[in-house]
Amino acid sequence: MPDWFRRRTPQPMNERSPDVPAGAFTKCAKCGHILYAKDFERDLKVCLRCGHHHRLTADERIEYTVDPDSFRETNAGLATADPLRFPDYAAKAERGREAAGRNDALVTGTARIGGYPCVFAVADFTFMGGSMGSVFGEKFVRAADQAIESKLPFVLFCASGGARMQEGLFGLMQMAKTSAAVAQLGEAAVPYLVVLTDPTTGGAFASFASLGDVILAEPGAYVAFAGTRVAQQAQTHKPPPGYQTSEFQQERGMVDRVTPRKELKDTLARLLSFFGGQSGSNGEEAAAGYGDTKNPAGIASASRNGRGQA
């Protein structure tokens, strides 16, 4: 498990090549292929050669997924408390704040994807491994409440190592809290779309991340109940090839579609359209069509003018 706490952002290759401007090239974290930085950005940080999907910060994810300037953050002021006064927790949270530029690991707000308004949440792995503490759970529930209130679909990108140990049972209980919120989304017939990204494990995968109406996953992501360390201990069965990847989870029926990063935005827009969304420039007007299960006309009108904007 600990190796995913380390940042794996590609390092600039400028020390052995003095003629090259700093940051012009990066190296694939998986295959080591040297990539032209501009191409790497254009390819949404997917390796040109091996297809490795590099981890993204919340800001990068928002930039790559939602319509330009459509994201409005909510509840950004919710910040980590230290309810158990757990050793080193305050310092770790502070480092997380510096690394992620956020107050905790879940970023929530509203946005548009291909013109379709939605409530949008993304877990930032750079903040303590995306782990789920009180703030994560509270922001998740508030976002779900907002989705129900405004009848907007809830789109969530997960990257999380699970419950945050430093909050003890407060961490564990976020599994129940978020799952209960998903039940409320279901009762209100508000679509809940989940995208699993690298890595999604433990308490996250065993709660809200496994409960999407539709579950997409990025290729090659580590998606599992057991983190690597647990998985290696005392296994009585030989793991099959590709064990605990997105592809494995799709094969075992736990994921609807493994979807490459460059297709995610379009796929999400199609799903939002299917679930009755109406695209448009005004969120309030467009929102009226959602969740109204008695009005399937919303689907028809959406499919006429929806995807062109993606």
Residues in 23-82 at the binding interface with another protein, rule: CB under 8 A: 72-81
Binds another protein (CB under 8 A): choice among 120, 154, 208, 275: 208
CB atoms within 10 A of CB 11: 12
Half-sphere CA count of 100, side-chain side, radius 13 A: 29
Q: Which is nearer to another protein, 14 or 179 (CB)?
A: 179
- Residue ranges in 104-133 that form contacts with another protein under rule CB under 8 A: 104, 109, 133
Nearer to another protein by Cβ, of 34 and 188: the residue is 188
Q: How far apart are CA 63 and CA 56, in angstroms?
A: 10
Rounded Cα distance, 152 and 103, in Å: 25
Based on CB atoms, which residue is closest to another protein, 24 or 169?
A: 169
219 lines the binding site for another protein (CB under 8 A) = no
Report the alpha-carbon distance of residue 305 to residue 242 in Å, rounded: 40
The H or E element containing residue 77 is none
Residue 281 in the binding site for another protein (CB under 8 A): no
CB of 191 to another protein, least distance (A): 15
- Of residues 165, 162, 225, 157, the one with CA closest to residue 196: 157
Cβ atoms < 10 Å from Cβ of 9 = 13
Rule CB under 8 A: choose which of 189, 225, 257, 274 binds another protein: 225
Q: Which amino acid is at 64?
A: Y
Query: Smallest distance from the beta carbon of 172 to another protein, in angstroms?
Result: 4
Q: How far apart are CA 71 and CA 247, in angstroms?
A: 30
CB of 268 to another protein, least distance (A): 21
Q: Which residues from 79-98 bind another protein, rule CB under 8 A?
A: 79-81, 83-84, 86-88
The verdict on whether omega for the bond into residue 153 sits within 30 degrees of 0, i.e. cis, is no
Q: Which of 231, 247, 265, 301 binds another protein (CB under 8 A)?
A: 231
Residues 232-271 that bind another protein (CB under 8 A): 235-240, 243-244, 252-254
Among 226, 266, 274, 283, which residue interacts with another protein (rule: CB under 8 A)?
226
Q: For the chain, how far is it from start to end, CA to CA, in angstroms?
A: 37
Q: Which is nearer to another protein, 48 or 189 (CB)?
A: 189
Q: Which of 44, 111, 159, 224 binds another protein (CB under 8 A)?
A: 224
Total interface residues for another protein by CB under 8 A: 80
**Is there binding between residue 146 and another protein (CB under 8 A)?**
yes
Q: What is the 3-state secondary structure (H, E, C) of 102-155?
A: CCCCEEEEEEEECCEEEEEEEECCCCHHHCECHHHHHHHHHHHHHHHHHCCCEE
Closer of 203 and 220 to another protein (Cβ) = 203
Judged by CB, which is closer to another protein: 68, or 77?
A: 77
Residue 41: phi and psi, rounded to 5, are -65, -45
The residues in 167-206 that bind another protein, with binding defined as CB under 8 A, are 167-177, 179-184, 186-187, 202-203, 205-206
